[in-house]
A and B are shown apart, each in its own frame.
Chain A
């Protein structure tokens, strides 16, 4: 196996994978239990321990069989994935088609530690639209190391919404490589609640004029959870907007990481980049590391970035309580308000409802 990255690598400075490398993972066991699936009226692919389960899945007009990896990707986790990948979705939406929604569920369970490496491909033809709703869930100790290869052709629109609710003993590393053509858009939102250690790493290339990338995320972590959201946006053409809003709510001894790199090529004039990372620390032992990085080689661009780390404002809590709202509810209202800016771009109603429900129950478990 390709070696796991260590903290000596700049891109992995804040995420220590030693707890992962200390475990020897077996091949995934067969699964008998049926996972709990959300009641959403969309076609679905359900993977159990990384293998497609035909009985739980429905058909989808634009799905092709899994194809072997051609070795794309340079990030360490993608290279490991390439060695082991055995299954994944392979979606090709023809030009001009509105393909609606697809649900992608990964459920994991097993006694001994095991690992699986899904390799997903999503390709949208010119002017196509598609929404992928991904749910990761499971029980026990396992490692999901997924890769998404995304291609969005001219004028196409791909919305990718992820709800990561893995077991708190599990590891989730997800690497996404997206090539976005002119006038096309890739709108991404990940809500991370699960995993002992997780990292979502997105590399988005804006390849034609007016290509758009939204890489938004929220993570709500407690206990000793560690959540890392790392992005690289490459502006390789003029007039491209990119937006990133990342919100972390950290309780207990949780640790959050956001690394956001924006590269603006010399040709990419009139780039409009916005990046904001904010963390709410609910305990004195929680920690957040934020690293914005801008590399700009064009001279007529607008790129802004900001980072804040703070606690809940007790003045606000008191204001709500003085209006009759119980303290726990007051704190929940303020946390939800804190997340608003990251959730706002999720304009897909069913996904938004799903996220809202999960957020409600997260608070009651703290």
Chain B
């Protein structure tokens, strides 16, 4: 369970988040929608522990633990995973090696046994197949020369292998065609169970046709201004955010 309580955060002198409060119980998928500049990406970065954001007030509990004091790698070990809006290219780092290093780092922190190369490859190949990716994906350098859609698929591959308890998708749908969108949605949907929860940050409603959220929140001006069922997304699509920002 993720509990965000009165979260205030700023970059330099600019206050971006001005008291965000929301709770995502286990097993639920929540969507955050909102206009550009509402603080959507800032929220995802604060949750994942990126440098450069100062939390001035509030707390974030993940399964009862205050994650704001944890390093990014410890948040990952605790079961959080941020799917990047712009996945980073790592020239010289092979995808399979990256995934295995990542999985084993997390397993080690959790006190679990590390996977050897053979066991890992078996797991990775199955995940690649499930996501309809080409097998050479594992041999290529991480995200280097990948198309926009391939990068997002690669984020889903990481998700399938690392099996987080909480996935944060930061505008994962941006720049995707409909086929890639379906693959992203399927990547999330296959993880759905009573333990898994997700925070889907998106500008548009269309991703939510494929990942149907339990709750939709509207973030505007650094606060959650409205929450409601999945149908709220359709309503926003029709009416726009204009009326909400004033609220």
Determine if A67 is an interface residue (Cβ-Cβ < 8 Å). Answer: no
State which of B76, B88, B90, B92 has its C-beta within 8 Å of the C-beta of A324. B76
A322, B91: Cβ atoms closer than 8 Å: no
Could you tell me if B90 and A318 are in contact, using CB atoms closer than 8 angstroms?
no
Kindly report which residue of chain B lies nearest to residue A337, judged by CB atoms: B92
Closest to A326 in B: B73
Q: Which residues of B from 46 to 91 have beta carbons under 8 Å from A? A: 48-51, 71-73, 75-77, 81-82, 84, 87-88, 90-91
A319, CB-defined interface residue at 8 Å: yes
Residues of A within 8 A of B72 (CB): 318, 321-322
Contact B102 A324 (CB under 8 A): yes
Known: A318-B51, A318-B72, A327-B73. A337 touches B106 (CB 8 A): no
Task: Point out the residue from B49, B75, B81, B102 that lies within 8 Å of A325, measured CB to CB.
Answer: B102
Q: Which residue of B lies closest to A319 (CB)?
A: B88
Q: Does A21 contact B (CB under 8 A)?
A: no
CB distance from A27 to the nearest CB of B (A): 46
Set of chain A residues within 8 Å of B103, measured between Cβ atoms: 324
The yes or no answer to A299 lying at the interface (CB within 8 A) is no
Taking a contact as CB atoms under 8 Å apart, the answer to whether A322 and B90 are in contact is: no
Contact-size category for B: 20 to 34
Contact, CB under 8 Å: B82 / A325: no
Assuming the A-B contacts A314-B51, A318-B72, are A324 and B91 also in contact, with contact meaning beta carbons closer than 8 angstroms in the complex? no
The answer on a CB contact under 8 Å between A337 and B91 is yes
User: Is B93 engaged at the interface, CB distance under 8 Å to the other chain?
Assistant: yes
Chain A residues, Cβ within 8 Å of B195: none
Looking at the assembled complex, report how far the CB atom of A192 sits from the nearest CB atom of chain B, in whole angstroms: 20
12 contacts across the A-B interface (CB closer than 8 A): A318-B50, A318-B88, A319-B84, A322-B48, A322-B75, A323-B105, A324-B73, A324-B103, A329-B101, A333-B93, A333-B101, A334-B90
List chain B positions with a Cβ less than 8 A from chain A: 48-51, 71-73, 75-77, 81-82, 84, 87-88, 90-93, 98, 101-103, 105-106, 109, 158, 162
**Among all A-B residue pairs, the 10 with the closest Cβ atoms:** A337-B92, A324-B76, A324-B106, A340-B92, A319-B88, A323-B102, A321-B72, A324-B105, A337-B93, A321-B73
Sample of 12 more A-B contacts, CB < 8 Å, known A323-B102, A336-B92: A313-B88, A321-B72, A321-B73, A322-B49, A322-B50, A323-B76, A324-B76, A325-B73, A327-B73, A333-B93, A333-B98, A340-B91
